Amino acid sequence: MKRAFILLLLVVVGWVLADTFSQINFGESRMGDIKQQETVGAYYLNNTVEKLSVANVVTAIVVNYRGFDTLGEVTVLFLAASGLASILYRRKKRGEHDVMILKNSSQLLQTGAKLIFPAILVLGAYVFIHGHLTPGGGFQGGAIIASGFLLMFMAYKDYHVSHNVLTWVESIAGILFVSVGIWGLISGATFLENILGTGTLNDLVSGGIIPLIYIAVGFKVAAELTGVLETLLNFKTEK
């Protein structure tokens, strides 16, 4: 009986949601008529290149128009990492080993990881440094770098990333992001305002504070995700 009710409820909710979403013509331009600047999307598409000299409009939205949201999202990640660390925190006993993986991984993985690891780091750095020019950005680049560290964790049983270094990178990147924002306030403009010159379109150094912020985000995300992996790997349940 109870199950029948739950099924009925799910069907009703599903039907209402499906009906609502079917009214939106996905795939069609939901940005509105680009010439009538009715939606904010149209405004972004029309004005970004001219006003910010940024080729990647998505980056311009994420880091400049809605940069405050991005600061919030970075904080969410920071909190998730801190929360995880606080929940899995355990005082280490003396002489305890860090990593509990007992077996070495295969020769193939070890050699491959050693070869690919630097390439992954370079790719990650490339993605976040060129965030304002090509698809991708700080979050993606950071995640790529963290995946490189994951590979190393899997390949070598006592591969270790210093928690100290991670904390430093994470904190300094976060401080840089907020400081860029406060810099705007101090120089008489608004918080996170693009106070640097925007340069010419498609140059590496262009877009004002956008690349600066994305580099900070890249470092922060990389350090945080690596820290999460490290925390999870070092967590042992008491037997």
Partner 1 sequence: MVISPVHYIALPLLAAFLMPLLAKVNRELVRIIPGVVLTYLLFVSVVLMQRVTETGQPIIETLAGWQAPWGINLVFSQFTGFLVSLMVFMATLIWIFSYRFKKVDNEPALKYYILFMMLVTGSVGVVLTGDIFNMFVFMEITAIASYSLTSFYRDRDGAEAGFKYLLIGSLASTFMLLAILLLYTQVGTLNMAMIAERMHTVPVGMKVTILILFLTGLGIEAEMFPLNGWAPDAYSQAPSPVGATFAALVVKAGVYSLIRVIFTLFDIQGAYQYLIIMGIITLIIAEFAAMKQTNLKRMLAYSSIGQMGFVLIAFGIGTKEAVFGALFLMFNHAIIKSLLFMSGSFFVYNSTSKDINGMSGIGKKFPYMGFLFSIGAFAIVGLPPFSGFWSKLYILIAAADESMLALVAIILLVSIVEIVYYFRVVAKLYFGKPTDKEVVHKPTFGGYFSMTVLAVVILLVGFYPDIITGFIHRAADTLLDKGAYISNVLSMGH
Residue 139 touches partner 1, criterion: CB under 8 A: no
Where does this chain touch partner 1 (CB under 8 A) — which range of 98-106, 134-142, 149-157, 165-173?
165-173
| Segment near partner 1 (CB under 8 A); pick from 80-88, 94-102, 107-115, 152-160 | 80-88
Distance CA(174)–CA(220), nearest Å, equals 7
Contact region with partner 1 (CB under 8 A), list: 94-102, 120-128, 146-154, 173-181: 173-181
Candidates 6, 8, 11, 80: give the one binding partner 1 (CB under 8 A).
Answer: 80
Can you tell me the distance from the alpha carbon of 32 to that of 224, in angstroms, rounded to the nearest whole number?
Answer: 38
Window of 68-76, 102-110, 133-141, 151-159 that interacts with partner 1 by CB under 8 A: 68-76
Write down the least CB distance from residue 97 to partner 1, Å. Answer: 19
Residue bearing tokens 């600061």: 71
- Say if residues 223 and 175 touch (Cβ distance below 8 Å): no
Residues 211 and 202 sit within 8 Å (Cβ to Cβ): no
Neighbours of 205 (CB within 10 A): 10
Check if the beta carbon of residue 175 is closer than 8 Å to that of residue 146: no
**Residue 75 touches partner 1, criterion: CB under 8 A:** yes
Contact 125, 145 (CB under 8 A): yes
Give the shortest CB-32-to-partner 1 separation in angstroms.
6
For position 89 contacting partner 1 by CB under 8 A, the verdict is yes
Cα–Cα distance measured from residue 173 to residue 170, given in angstroms and rounded to the nearest whole number: 5
Angle at 179 between CA 177 and CA 182, to 5 degrees: 120
Q: Does 189 help bind partner 1 (rule: CB under 8 A)?
A: yes
Q: Which residues bind partner 1 (CB under 8 A)?
A: 16-17, 20-21, 23-24, 30-32, 38-44, 64-69, 71-73, 75-76, 78-80, 82-87, 89, 91, 167-168, 170-172, 174-175, 178-179, 181-182, 184-186, 189-194
